[in-house]
Structure 1
């Protein structure tokens, strides 16, 4: 297994505590680690836009991914600068974006302040919920064995989960099933945004591989994946009906319950090579 992607979790992503643990009715004092969850404010050209509860690690990736998956910018080149600061209240990530993007943002400004991974808080209209997606034109066909290999290896790359037991992960895999990038967060949407941002800031071709997530696949996860130009989304857990509808309309192949040698295909099955399994 290729472990080059594996990184030690950033120290600010978790905290060590002294706690009481009870096992078989016997209490003992032990050291434990808990995942951090703080308000992360996103500012564009000096204007506050959103506050999300997130793990305070990989914040530049988070900001880039959020900007793309929320259609604030269309390409990474439209982000001119990104920096973050922290204080006792939380973290602030400030992005400078191209003028036309900022003008568009001001027209549809909304406040997304909400709970962990909340994707709807502050949405102003029903039309903003299910936004139209450009149909994916990928002609790739993915090998079943590659998908299952990635699913089997995913847990070994989740170092923050190993430390805290409290985080989701999103990973980008090559077509042959090697995990090249992974990001973790207390929020499943945040983990995927961080992954998309990391892809944008890397030399990898996002559309040449696929994404696997540890959570359920809701419609927002499908939207974010399709917006990033990725044609296959694999969920370890289940999917929602709306996620299936959005995936079908976008031409995205959606898999759920990818565990062991099993999985379910919910949309666009032709992109998966079943005869190789």
Structure 2
């Protein structure tokens, strides 16, 4: 159990309609979260101190350290005072593989991605999800985004965190995780779905942020073939989604949205005029 809270109260001076008001605002906490394997720190993330077991599982999955829950023997969260150390005990063969991977690392990572040592690894080939059969309607896409927006208590309180949800047609939103970091939120979601035994191919990932290539990579590793966002994608994210056979939907506003890749999974119903 850690002593860190997810929010704090900060004093503020607010100007509204020309009127100055002195008051306070609830803001999210952000702390260093280390992931350690076999007693050695692998990466340190800045994030929200909640759902740390999910975070550890999801991070381990999306970074290629594990491929199933069976490869993790234990997770312990240690409060280090200024941050949290999430200590993961892996099965022996996975521990040996990670140790060998560390020995081959050339030096400190400077590209902003965790546990990688080259540009080639940053541009890694993602799993192929082109064969995932899933049909969605505009109504279901709108339902997924609306459900995510309504299931973020930390965001409602602070207006300063990202959310990631896993939506299964016919069942609704089955998991939601929040974090100050959009990648962290998706890692936590991946961990939650894996721990609950959910299959990524059965549903779609919904996020409250723009779509960067890392979000596409993490979604594909989870096994989901559809990624929906309220903001726009990057060009690299689009190319990566296309290579993976993933459906990329962005700029979602109700039943209005833009499809960038694999539109065949969406029953739009109407063919628009082409300018």
Q: How does 1:36-185 map to 2 (within 5 A)?
A: 36-109=29-102, 119-120=112-113, 123-136=116-129, 137-176=131-170, 178-185=172-179
**Counterpart position of 2:28:** 35
Cα distance in structure 2, aligned partners of 1:174 and 1:112: 40
Deviation of 1:166 after TM superposition, in Å, equals 0.8
Cα distance in structure 2, aligned partners of 1:121 and 1:68: 13
Asked whether the 8 Å contact 1:145–1:276 carries over to 2, the reply is: no
Cα distance in structure 2, aligned partners of 1:112 and 1:71: 19
User: What SS class does the counterpart of residue 195 from structure 1 fall into?
Assistant: helix
Deviations 1:130-152 (A, max 9, x none): 11223113112222211111113
For structure 2, the 5+ residue unaligned runs are: none
Corresponding position: 1:207 with 2:201: yes
Asked whether the 8 Å contact 1:17–1:32 carries over to 2, the reply is: yes
Deviation of 1:104 after TM superposition, in Å, equals 2.3
Q: Which moved more, 1:88-97 or 1:138-147?
A: 138-147
Cα distance in structure 2, aligned partners of 1:171 and 1:93: 23
Corresponding position: 1:234 with 2:234: no
User: What SS class does the counterpart of residue 125 from structure 2 fall into?
Assistant: coil
Deviations 1:85-132 (A, max 9, x none): 213210110111122222222233368888xxx842674211111112
Deviation of 1:215 after TM superposition, in Å, equals 0.5
Q: TM-score, normalised by structure 1?
A: 0.88
Task: Kindly report structure 1 stretches of 4+ aligned residues shifted beyond 4 Å.
Answer: 110-114
Deviations 1:198-237 (A, max 9, x none): 1111143332111100001111000000001111100110
Q: Which moved more, 1:63-72 or 1:13-22?
A: 13-22
Q: Which moved more, 1:18-27 or 1:165-174?
A: 18-27
Cα distance in structure 1, aligned partners of 2:126 and 2:108: 21
Cα gap change, 1:276/1:70 in structure 2, threshold over 3 Å: closer, same or farther? Answer: farther
Cα distance in structure 2, aligned partners of 1:42 and 1:267: 34
Asked whether the 8 Å contact 1:147–1:177 carries over to 2, the reply is: no
Q: Which moved more, 1:82-91 or 1:212-221?
A: 82-91
Asked whether the 8 Å contact 2:43–2:115 carries over to 1, the reply is: no
For structure 1, the 5+ residue unaligned runs are: 1-9
Cα distance in structure 2, aligned partners of 1:93 and 1:191: 16
Q: Which moved more, 1:144-153 or 1:236-245?
A: 144-153
CA RMSD of aligned residues (A): 2.3
**Counterpart position of 1:23:** 16
Cα distance in structure 1, aligned partners of 2:109 and 2:146: 35
Number of matched pairs = 265
Q: TM-score, normalised by structure 2?
A: 0.89
